[in-house]
Every structure is written in structure tokens, then in C-alpha cells.
Amino acid sequence: MGAAKRMGRILSLAGDVLLLVLLAAAVQAALPAPAYAYVDPSVMTYTIQAVAGAAVALSAVIGVAFRRSRKLIFRLFKIDENAGKEVDPVVRALQPADAGYPQKLQQADDDARALKERLAHGRQVRRLGWGRRLVRSLICCLFLAVSAFTLPSSEIVAASQASLNFSLGDALPLIIGASAAVWIVASLLVSLLRGRAFDIACALIVAAGIGCYVEALFLNGPLPAADGTPLHLSYYKTITVISGAVWLAIFVGALILALRKTAVARGLGLVLCVGLLAVQGASLASLAADANNPAPKSETTFNGLMTTEGLYDLGARDNVVVFVLDTYDTAFLKETVQKHPDLLDGFTGFTWFQNATAAMIPTRYGIPYLLTGTELQPGQTHDDYVQTRYAKSSLIPAVKEQGYDVGIYTDSLLTNRLTPYGDNLYDTDHLEINPPGLLKMLAKVSLYRDMPWILKKPFWFYTDQINQNSLHETMEPYIIDDPALYQGLRENGLSIGNEGKAFRFIHTLGAHQPLCMDENGNRGTEETLTWDQQYQGSINFVSDYLDEMKRLGVYDDATIVVTADHGDFYWTWGPLEKPTSAILLVKPPETPEEAAQPLKVSQAPTGSLDFAATIIDAVGADRSGYGPTVWEIPEGADRDRYYWDTVHNDNIDHEWIRYRINGGDVLDWGNWEPTGEVTPVEAHD
């Protein structure tokens, strides 16, 4: 082929690609965010007709323009548009009187038979040179790379900013760089294949990209949130079968097309790749723009870094230590102690409040409640509450004002307001990223989202694993990882970090999913562990921590609280069906003799609502406005307590329902009743 003809075909191909891009852009523009406005019905009919007419006219103009430009290019570069195609020959009538009539008739008959045979066997597919194979490989592999990694990892990071230690701006250059490297290498390798092997490889690559696109767009609706909830495929049999059938159909269809209709497979594959790349490219460009122009810091997001600094250090005197064992219900602890009577032997000087209630559920409401003591007021909206709960609280600032070294360790802080008061909290816009660890986790979460259901389990993850692998080791972010926390205590013990006082708020996995730790703090899996082991291990960690405090001589005068953000937790689509309670064990400053006494038990009707007052009292700050401490609630008191349950459908919070629990046993469902107060959830955080 001459240079002129080659240039002409390149220009023609570029025009075709431009047309596909414009069509894809039109599809993308047709799916905007909803806008709400009133339109007079009397003008709608005319408006629809006008818009429809304009659309038809515009499409006709575009079609004619592209067709004429294509013909012009072919004419200028003298390209035969019918080259390589079967076209009808020029028709000429034969007369018996013509010279050579029998021979011409026989030749026409032979030509017709040959054409029929060629059509029966299909047109011979043109063999592709390396250059053409490389171009096709680049397009197909780019489509798969974007569909399986670039876009899903970017979307997941963008949607999880409130829970991650890094931003999309930190991750996006790494994502694009890794995608580009894999894309180029894979394209070169695929281009080395020849003949049918190349066509099959391209068909399978395109099929994989389409499968990822379809899975993410249509089949992930029931996928549980990445909060530690395990993925039991036995609970999702229907969607697993549907997902598998869709993927099988895509791959089988691609193979059949590549083997039987190679030319069609080549053309259709390129069209799908370019079109879907344009659609996904628009989404990626939008994410990149958002990364370069981040939104202002939210009142419900922690954008800094929470380190492990001070985690194993205490002050020389008057320490206040709070353990929040996630999801640990009083019923769980009662059952565990019944099986293992010596479990709480190390809790000398403590009182176990067995009639304690939590205040809110789940963790994203329970932890901020403990750190603020701020309650939802009558008539207050959900959005106003979550936006102002820290602003209205002086709890942690008061602790800091009393001269305490403050360490807050949780994944659910959800504010930047405490950064000036937490000695392990850093407000920074530039974090020391660990590229290999981050990319490995992002590849895992992308495949978890995009693989068919039957293959998702090997890629299962929860959010803390991303944080754990994303930052350089020198940053030491605090991660809720109970086996690692326990191992750190065993290896390092506790030490006196300063001559003053320390406040520690340590949030652990506790009784929350997933199963990860045995009774001795060793790491395990759901297949090898039981809940009884994790219940024991969580308490044994606290017990060993208390032993270290005794060793250092800082146990007696310390205030220690062992509680939970909430108790037994299950998503409800309506009213609660059973009681829930949060463990509460408290030790006040005592004499050595008092601190050595065995664990006491109290049935006083208390709970999370008295937590803030107890802490304020312990640090010696002004208690006005905080109510009674746990020590001021007598057993048998006729006291109403309140609990907000979250109604949660399809991974979205819909409303809060308020319950009243009277002074009786919180574990008796007969002591619970709904108050009739329901607060809609406007902002789903």
C-alpha cells in the first residue's frame, strides 16, 4: 500500500473514532444528575416536539457530514472503498450470435459457482501485520485496564474519603502510572500473537472488560459494605448464579464470534472498546477534576492522620484510660464469663454495670456520641446533629485543658475539630504513601468489585486493610487490628511516657466482625475461630493491659472504663426485635487496698449517657451540664434511658427510631418500648 493510501486510511479511521467518541459523549451527557424544576404542562408537548425535531435534524447533519468527509478522503487518496469486498459485476447481456458465446457463458457460470463457494466458506480474513496487531492490542488492553483497575480503584477511593488516611489526589498518580505500565506491557505481549491466537486473545480481553463493566453497573447491588462483614455466598445464591451466567454468556459469545465471524468480532470489539472507553474516560476525567479541586473539609470527615503515638505510653499519675470494644454486648460478656469464670479476675477494683445501655447505633454514631456526650435534641434534624455534635461539645477540650496528654485511637472520629487536642492527631495534606502496598490493596478492592460473585471471596477486604497498607511504615497510622494491637502490647509492654497525666481512648474491633483473633490474641480466620475465642481474646487484651499498669504502679490512681460503642448489632428494616446493651466496667481512682478488691457487680440503670460526666469528673473539669456519673445512679432507680436505632436499607441509612428503656433490666425486651419519635436521615454518611 502506498504512503498516500496509508495516510488516507489513517484519516478515515481517525474520523470513525471521532464519531464514536462524539456518540459516547452524547450518551454520557444524556445521564446527568437529576435536576428538579417545575415546567408548565401546557408547553411540554411543543417542547418535546421541538427538541425531538432538533435531535433528528442534528443527527442527520452529522451523519451526512461524516459520510461526505469519508468519501472525500477516499477520493483524494484514490482509495477503492470496495477493495477486498464481494461486489456484483457489471451486467452484460450475452447473445447466441456473439463471438465466443459458449465460452463466455461457461465462464460466467464458473464465476458464479466460485463466488457461491467462497461465500459458503466465508470471506478470508485479512492477516494482520504487527503494526495493526499492536494498535488493536493497545485499544483492547487499555479498555480492560481502565475497566478492571483504573476506574474502579479511583471511584472506590473517591467514595471512601471519610474512612481513608489518604485522598484521591494522593492515589490517582499511582493508579494512572501503574495502569499505564501494565497496559503497555500487556499490549506488547498480546501483539506478539498471530493469526487465530491473536483474535481469540483480543476477544477474551474485550469480554473481560465488558464483564467488569456490567458487573459494576448492574450486579453489585446486594454487595455488603466493606465494614468487616464477611461475604457468605450462601446468602447470595441468586445473584451469584445470575452473575456467573452473565459472565459465561459474555465469554462464550466472544469466543464463538471470534472463531466463526472473525471480521465481525474484530470490528465489534474495537467499537465497544472505544465507545465504553469514552464513557469511562469521562467519569475518570470528572474524578481527576475533583481530585485537583478537593471539597472543603467536612464536619463529618477526619482528613488528617491518626498515628499510634502514645498508644503504649501512659503518664506517671492520674491516668484516664478508655477501652471501646466494638459491638461487645453485655449478653456476650455474661455468656463468656459463665463459660470461663476466671475471665475477669484481673479486673480488680472494677464495678461491672450489667444494666447499661448504649445511646446510638452503628459505630459512626456511637463513637462520636462517646467523644462528645452530645444528644439529639427534640426537633433537631439528622443533618444538623451530625454537623454540630462536636462543635457543641467541650468534653475532649476540657480533658486537654486539665493538662492531659490526649491520645484518641479510632477509625470513626469523623471530625477535624479534635485535631488540636489530640497529641496523636495530625492535620496534614501530604502523607508519606507506601506505593506498593497501596496499589496492591487497590487492585484487590477493584477485583472484589468487578469480579463475578463466585470469584469475589478471595478479594474480600475491609476498609482498615486499605489504611494499613497505604502509608509508609514510619507514619504508623492507627489501624483497628486487634491481633496486631495485642502483639504490640506483648512485645513492647507499657511505659511511662511523661511525668504528667495521660488520657487514652482506644477503640478496638472487640466483638465486631470479622473473626480474627483467638483467646490468646493470635491471628486467625473465620474458618478456624469461634466467637467465644474472640470474646475472650478481646477481654484478655484489656486484662494484660491492666497488668502492665499494675507493674508500672499507675493502676491504683487511674480511672479506667471498658465499654462499647454499641452492643449486639444487626441491620433493621423496621423496628427492633430484641434488646441490645453495651458492656460497661468502670474503675475509679482508689487506694491500693480498694484497687485490689475483686470485681463488683451493679444493676444501676446507667450506660453511655453517663459516660461523658464520668470522664469529666475523672479529669477534674467543670461538670456542669453533663449530668450524673455512673457512681451517682443508685440500683433500682426508676430511670428512663433512650436509645436511637438506625433503620438501614440497601447500604443506606433511612431514619432513626427512638426507644425508651425503663429502669429495669436492659436485657429484658419487656422493658423496651418505641417512643414514636422518628428522625429521617437526610445525609447518608
Kindly report the CATH number assigned to the domain that includes residue 537: 3.40.720.10
- Residue 89, domain member (yes or no): no
User: Pick from 359, 318, 342: which is nearest to 584 by CA?
Assistant: 359
Residues with Cβ within 8 Å of 68's Cβ and at least 6 positions away in sequence, in order, are none
Average pLDDT over residues 237-242: 94
Flag the least confident range among 3-17, 331-345, 402-416, 504-518: 3-17
- Residue 123, domain member (yes or no): no
Query: What is the per-residue pLDDT for 432?
Result: 73
610 and 504 in a common domain: yes
Size (the chain), residues:
685
User: With 90 as the cut, is the pLDDT of residue 684 above it?
Assistant: no
Are the CB atoms for 158 and 289 separated by under 8 Å? Answer: no
Cα gap 362→347, rounded to integer Å: 27
Query: What is the per-residue pLDDT for 313?
Result: 96
365 and 423 in a common domain: yes
Average pLDDT over residues 400-414: 95
Cα gap 402→616, rounded to integer Å: 10
Give the domain-ending residue among 444, 463, 482.
463
User: With 60 as the cut, is the pLDDT of residue 47 above it?
Assistant: no
- Residue 448, domain member (yes or no): yes
270 and 352 in a common domain: no
Are the CB atoms for 326 and 574 separated by under 8 Å? Answer: no
* Largest interatomic CA distance in the chain: 133
Q: Indicate the pairing of strand 320-325 with strand 672-680.
A: unpaired
611 and 496 in a common domain: yes
260 and 198 in a common domain: yes
End-to-end CA distance of the chain: 61
pTM above 0.85, yes or no: no
339 and 277 in a common domain: no
User: With 50 as the cut, is the pLDDT of residue 346 above it?
Assistant: yes
Query: What is the per-residue pLDDT for 105?
Result: 75
565 and 670 in a common domain: yes
Give the model's confidence band at 6: pLDDT under 50 very low, under 70 low, under 90 confident, else very high.
low
Average pLDDT over residues 68-84: 63
Are the CB atoms for 658 and 359 separated by under 8 Å? Answer: no
Average pLDDT over residues 495-511: 95
399 and 285 in a common domain: no
394 and 257 in a common domain: no
Which helix (H) or strand (E) segment holds residue 202: the answer is helix 195-214
Flag the least confident range among 44-53, 460-469, 559-568, 665-674: 44-53
438 and 414 in a common domain: no
313 and 205 in a common domain: no
Average pLDDT over residues 304-332: 95
- Residue 171 backbone zone (phi > 0: left; psi -120 to 50: alpha; other: beta): alpha
Residues with Cβ within 8 Å of 595's Cβ and at least 6 positions away in sequence, in order, are 348, 349, 555, 556, 587
- Residue 685, domain member (yes or no): no
* Count of alpha carbons within 13 angstroms of residue 138, beta-carbon side: 8
Are the CB atoms for 445 and 459 separated by under 8 Å? Answer: yes
User: With 90 as the cut, is the pLDDT of residue 230 above it?
Assistant: no
* Residue the block writes with cell 478479594: 459
Domain span at 60:
1-28+51-78
SS (H, E, C) 643-668: EEEEEEECCEEEEEEEEEECCCCCCC
Are the CB atoms for 476 and 309 separated by under 8 Å? Answer: yes
Query: What is the per-residue pLDDT for 5?
Result: 57
User: For residue 404, how far is the Cα from the chain centroid?
Assistant: 36
Are the CB atoms for 141 and 205 separated by under 8 Å? Answer: yes
The one-letter code for the residue type at 342 is D
Task: Write down the mean pLDDT value for the chain.
Answer: 86
Burial class (CB in 10 A: 0-12, 13-18, 19+), 285: exposed
Domain total of the chain:
3
Cis, bond preceding 362 (omega within 30 deg of 0): yes
Give the model's confidence band at 45: pLDDT under 50 very low, under 70 low, under 90 confident, else very high.
very low
Flag the least confident range among 20-24, 123-127, 212-216, 228-232: 20-24
User: With 60 as the cut, is the pLDDT of residue 430 above it?
Assistant: no
User: Pick from 635, 511, 641: which is nearest to 566 by CA?
Assistant: 511
Query: What is the per-residue pLDDT for 36?
Result: 34
Residues with Cβ within 8 Å of 615's Cβ and at least 6 positions away in sequence, in order, are 320, 322, 395, 399, 559, 561
492 and 458 in a common domain: no
- Residue 36, domain member (yes or no): no
Cα gap 636→262, rounded to integer Å: 82
- Residue 542, domain member (yes or no): yes
Which of the pair, 120 or 598, is modelled with greater confidence?
598
User: For residue 500, how far is the Cα from the chain centroid?
Assistant: 41
Give the domain-ending residue among 59, 78, 97.
78
Cα gap 229→346, rounded to integer Å: 31
User: With 50 as the cut, is the pLDDT of residue 535 above it?
Assistant: yes
Cα gap 600→643, rounded to integer Å: 26
Cα gap 678→60, rounded to integer Å: 55
- Residue 411, domain member (yes or no): yes
- Residue 107, domain member (yes or no): no
